[in-house]
Amino acid sequence: MVFPISFSFFLSDSPTMGRKKLTMRRIENPTSRQLTYTKRKEGIIKKAGELAVLCDTDVALIMFAPSGRLASFASNGRIEDILLRFVDRPDELRGGPINHEEELEEKLDKLTRKQRESQEKMRYYEPNVEKINSALEAGVYQQFLTTAIQRIQTSKAKLLGNQLGHERTENVEVQAATMQMDDAVSLTGHSAEGNHARMRSNMDENQSGSSSAAGPHLSLGFIESQKMWNKTWNI
């Protein structure tokens, strides 16, 4: 634009004024912070959805609000699917500046082969435990499996008729169980198919602690992003 100056003052008839330039640091006022969080959360979820549709991509988003609340989004329905795709990646491919092209092709070959093999085993739950290369990964895996077991136990309890109901939880679970039967097939496997049809976002509260596997930063391929980050915020 040759003339970046706004001409709005010509047309303005409002006393409220527009936004100010935002400083990139934690918003100290709790009220404002919460408000901003709410607005931006919606914005980013929208962006994620758009990215998923426009580019035919699977996107997962998890946010822990300042209050401790959780909000998540998954373009393909269940965030677990996407998280697992992340977790399940062989270590070698997780990061690391891409070394040599030969290596790459080799790895791809290997993967393609494995993929073909695993196809036949798909009916069974056979996590590729053997592929685990780090304790960290193992921890994540274990968490997932534990969660899965808990779910199964819930289902089992339902099926057996026992109600291990926990307050409202009970109803929810029943509903889930029902749904689970009806939609099992239709929901299985197909990812975003050009539809922004399935998505979800939800919130709940608590600060409940949790297990967290901390560790050193295996900074792998973050340099590029870091660069962007720095540039943007002049760090």
Q: How far is the CB of 173 from DNA (least distance, A)?
A: 25
- Which one of 21, 25, 123, 168 is in contact with DNA (CB under 7 A)? 21
89 touches 132 (CB < 8 A): no
Q: How far is the CB of 21 from a second copy (least distance, A)?
A: 13
Does 43 help bind DNA (rule: CB under 7 A)?
Answer: yes
Does 196 help bind DNA (rule: CB under 7 A)?
Answer: no
Closest CA to 144 of 91, 78, 73, 200: 78
71 touches 55 (CB < 8 A): no
- Which one of 25, 26, 28, 44 is in contact with DNA (CB under 7 A)? 44
Determine the Cα–Cα distance for residues 10 and 216; give it in Å rounded to an integer. Answer: 56
Contacts with DNA by CB under 7 A: the residue count is: 30
Per CB under 7 A, the segment of 16-24, 116-124, 153-161, 165-173 that binds DNA is: 16-24
Give SS3 for 143.
helix
Closest CA to 71 of 202, 198, 200, 199: 202
C-beta of 66 vs 215, nearer to DNA:
66
Q: How far is the CB of 50 from DNA (least distance, A)?
A: 7
- Which one of 21, 29, 31, 150 is in contact with a second copy (CB under 8 A)? 150
Determine the Cα–Cα distance for residues 87 and 115; give it in Å rounded to an integer. Answer: 16
CA distances from 92 to 117, 134, 162, 218 (A): 19, 11, 45, 13
C-beta of 78 vs 200, nearer to DNA:
200
Does 20 help bind DNA (rule: CB under 7 A)?
Answer: yes
Burial bucket for residue 118 (CB in 10 Å: 0-12, 13-18, 19+): exposed
Contact flags string 80-119 toward a second copy, x per CB under 8 A: xxxxxxxxxxxxxxxxxxxxx-x-xxxxxxxxxxxx-xxx
Does 36 help bind a second copy (rule: CB under 8 A)?
Answer: yes
- Which one of 26, 38, 142, 184 is in contact with DNA (CB under 7 A)? 38
Report the partner that residue 215 touches, choosing among DNA, a second copy, none (CB closer than 5 to 8 A by kind). a second copy
Does 124 help bind a second copy (rule: CB under 8 A)?
Answer: yes
Give SS3 for 28.
coil
Length of the chain: 235
CA distances from 41 to 58, 81, 201 (A): 18, 22, 10
Binding site for DNA (CB under 7 A): 1-2, 6, 8-9, 11-14, 16-22, 32, 34-36, 38-40, 42-44, 46-47, 50, 67
